Amino acid sequence: MTINAQEQTHYRACHLCDATCGLEIRRRGDEILSIKGDKQDPFSRGYYCPKALALQDIHNDPDRLRQPVKREGDNWIPISWDEALDLTVDRIFDIREKQGPNSIAIYLGNPCVHNYGMFTHSGHFLSLLKTKSRFSATSLDQLPHHLVSYLMYGHQLLIPISDIDHTDYFLVIGANPLASNGSIMTVPNVRKRLKALQNRGGKLVVIDPRFTETAKVADEHHFIRPGTDAAFLLALLQTLFEENLVDTAHLTPLLNGLDDVRSAVRPFTSERAEPLTGIPAETVKQLARDLAAAGRGVCYGRMGVSVHMYGTLCLWAVQMINIVTGNLDRPGGALFTKPAFDTIGGPVSRPGHFGAWSSRVSNLPEFSGELPAVAMSEEMLTEGDGQIKALFTGAANPVLTSTNGPLLEKALGGLEFMVSLDPFINETTRFADVILPPTSTLEHDHYDMAFLAMAVQNVVRFNQPVFPKPDGALHDWEIFTELGKRMAKKLGVQPLPDSTPDQMIDFGLQTGPYSDQAGHPEKLSLDRLKQNPHGIDLGPLQPSLPDRIYSDSKQINCAPDIIIVDLERVENHLRQTTSDESGLLMIGRRHLFDANSWLHNCKRLVKGKNRCLLFMHPDDMTDLGLTDGQTVKITSRVGSVEVGVKATDEVMKGVVSLPHGWGHNRPGVRLSIASQHAGVSMNDLTDEKAFDPVSGIASLNAIPVTVAAV
């Protein structure tokens, strides 16, 4: 609405993390006057975190590219859109024709999920390439969630969401929602929601190698040795069976293979797990009893149990724990969402597929058309038919966010051609030959296709642009459309029909579960959302089984063969009896002001104390003769970095913690603020040979390292 002739107020969701908090943005002309929480937003209710202020910094950032550039030696030359688009398509087409479709690789970064134009229109160009060399941040983050949902429920996006607002027992393992604002759980103001849980007599329990921000407000916290989460979760599941605590309630007729699970987990007792995990057997048993007795409880696992050697097995065990306690599809437990734009049952539904092909060098399986990111460097560096020769990146910085960054740098430097759709010259895009910068977030409309489908409450909102699109600029979806038209002409095929993202959203809304067509009183459409700029509350999560199951049998597959076979790896781990106490294991760390690597050029988010420090237990430091604050050298199989160390009992003995997403000291980077707060990259230490063999997810935790004084 207009306040006066010059000042305007806009309502918009923040797109910088999963929480999607509603914002009130006031501007006058080209100047942003204020950004604060939208008190009328039915979901976030005025809450917002400090990251929201970065929207202004990103929009105004002098380092942000406003027009395409091409690289000539060490220089970047501004060029027209026609030249940039023609050059991109000509080079990719030529390489594809000479060396085959798989010589062209695609890597899409995490921000793509936060921007619906990337969702709706990337296929206008990328689908024409017909390449199997596709990668994304999914295999550095949440791939096991999708694979488990595909194997058990029949759809890769059918991920049960913790009903945090109604639960009485919240068991959190390998997650820190107070720092992440939730993840695979869209939940603004999680601190207030956890406090409400405790005020109604509920209990919050955290299992983590670090005494995290979430652990500090929990009723219980238990340290666990990194990489042993599968042994813990299987012991918890075994206890539920062993002590007859299983109550599958209304799920019983929907469960296929439950007896097979019971037999398969019988050997994985809490007594066997104790020496490995460090959690007493009796503690595990009591946790199982408490969860079973809670009535409304839920087990939630995230990055700490996703990105390591047993990621798929861990996420399966989390699902099974919720199933056998009767907490799947129950209020206060884990429920499937019913989003207004239904990415599961709607017009863009893609259930997924697994193992249809494998990577050329290490034979790693694809999932839903993508290969694991850990294979990307070797696919570029290993000669032979199908070797990657060209790369398209979209909103990505895998040099800092994927495993073994220096090896990837070597691989990128050897490509014949690289193009990046990105607004910055960062640690990855500096290798590009052409950079195609889209408009800023505040210059286009917005709809959260992904995160509203994972929200702890069914809500919907559509946001208009805060600023008009500048003359001569292109939105990301327009870039994909123009590239697609040029490539289609070269290939002699028809391009995809012209459309806009908002038209696709409108179609999805008008055919979705809250539409007039579905007989719902909300009668949702894009026009209706535009008339409600704060959003519309569609109610709490509700039970939806068996209707929401997408498997052919309409049953839940409790015992996928690939999971049951993989239990042998845990058995072999347990036979070691005890952990190797002589070495250190490195884990990552998240901060409320961070979002992987992409907010470190925002001055207000990096000012203050240095956050890129190694956390280390005082006893470990004493053993190694180290002192608080000195510079240390961390070494793994793949490399070394030097960083300041901080003594803290926040991490358990034998564990060190380094934050993810830093390392802005590479030559050629044009991020003036980030370069002043460079830090070091954790992924200069993570190992591309360490991954979950089931899914191919990178192991970004439990990395063996040594630490020594410089």
Residue range 498-544, pLDDT digits in tens = 999 999 999 999 999 999 999 999 999 999 999 999 999 999 999 99
Provide the pLDDT for residue 319: 98
- 3-state percent helix, strand, coil for the chain, nearest multiple of 5: 35, 20, 45
Q: Give the pLDDT mean for 601-621.
A: 95
Using the predicted structure, report yes or no on whether residue 4 has a pLDDT greater than 70: no
DSSP bridge pairs for 635: 640, 706
CATH dotted code for 577-709: 2.40.40.20
Q: Which uninterrupted H or E stretch holds 205?
A: strand 203-207
What does residue 708 show for φ and ψ, rounded to 5 degrees? -145, 155
Q: Give the pLDDT mean for 224-249.
A: 97
Measure CA of the first residue to CA of the last residue in the chain; give whole Å: 58
What does residue 101 show for φ and ψ, rounded to 5 degrees? -60, -35
Residue ranges of the chain assigned to CATH 2.40.40.20: 577-709
Using only the alpha carbons of the chain, give its radius of gyration: 25
Cis peptide before 659 (omega within 30 of 0): no
Residue ranges of the chain assigned to CATH 3.40.228.10: 147-340+547-569
Query: Model confidence at 350, in pLDDT bands (50, 70, 90)?
Result: confident
Query: Model confidence at 346, in pLDDT bands (50, 70, 90)?
Result: low
% the chain with pLDDT above 70:
98
Alpha helices in 531-579 (DSSP H): 561-574
Query: Model confidence at 116, in pLDDT bands (50, 70, 90)?
Result: very high
Structure tokens at 283: 């503690």
Would you say the C-alpha torsion 675, 679, 684, 690 has a positive or negative sign? negative
| Fold (CATH) for 147-340+547-569 | Dimethylsulfoxide Reductase; domain 2 (3.40.228)
Q: What is d(CA 552, CA 159) in angstroms, rounded to the nearest whole number?
A: 17
Query: Model confidence at 582, in pLDDT bands (50, 70, 90)?
Result: low
Name the residue with tokens 């559509």.
Answer: 462
DSSP 601-630: T-HHHH-SS----EEE-HHHHHHTT--TT-
Query: Model confidence at 360, in pLDDT bands (50, 70, 90)?
Result: very high
53-94 per-position pLDDT tens digit: 999 999 999 999 999 999 999 999 999 999 999 999 999 999
Lowest mean pLDDT among 4-8, 86-90, 409-413, 513-517: 4-8
What number of residues does the chain have?
710
CB-based contact 654:617 (threshold 8 Å): yes
Query: Model confidence at 583, in pLDDT bands (50, 70, 90)?
Result: confident
Using the predicted structure, report yes or no on whether residue 477 has a pLDDT greater than 70: yes
CB-based contact 177:214 (threshold 8 Å): yes
Using the predicted structure, report yes or no on whether residue 580 has a pLDDT greater than 80: no
Coil, strand or helix: which one is 599?
coil
DSSP 625-683: T--TT-EEEEE-SS-EEEEEEEE-TTB-TTEEE--SS-----TT---HHHHHT----GG
CB atoms within 10 A of CB 80: 11
Burial of 543 from C-beta contacts in 10 A (0-12 / 13-18 / 19+): middle
Beta strand segments in 340-440, E: 354-358, 365-367, 390-394, 417-421, 434-436
Structure tokens at 297: 């409880």
CB-based contact 257:557 (threshold 8 Å): yes
Burial of 587 from C-beta contacts in 10 A (0-12 / 13-18 / 19+): buried
Using the predicted structure, report yes or no on whether residue 579 has a pLDDT greater than 50: no
% the chain with pLDDT above 90:
93
Q: What is d(CA 588, CA 308) in angstroms, rounded to the nearest whole number?
A: 11
What does residue 408 show for φ and ψ, rounded to 5 degrees? -65, -40
Q: What is d(CA 705, CA 710) in angstroms, rounded to the nearest whole number?
A: 15
Using the predicted structure, report yes or no on whether residue 193 has a pLDDT greater than 80: yes
Using the predicted structure, report yes or no on whether residue 570 has a pLDDT greater than 80: yes
CB-based contact 133:379 (threshold 8 Å): yes
Sheet architecture: strand order including 203-207? 220-222, 203-207, 169-173, 297-301
Q: What is d(CA 244, CA 183) in angstroms, rounded to the nearest whole number?
A: 32
Using the predicted structure, report yes or no on whether residue 5 has a pLDDT greater than 70: no
Q: What is d(CA 115, CA 695) in angstroms, rounded to the nearest whole number?
A: 26
CB-based contact 317:700 (threshold 8 Å): no
CB-based contact 274:281 (threshold 8 Å): yes
Beta strand segments in 38-74, E: 69-72
379-388 per-position pLDDT tens digit: 999 999 999 9
Provide the pLDDT for residue 577: 55
Q: What is d(CA 92, CA 246) in angstroms, rounded to the nearest whole number?
A: 56
Q: Residue 545: which of 257, 292, 333 has the closest Cα?
A: 333
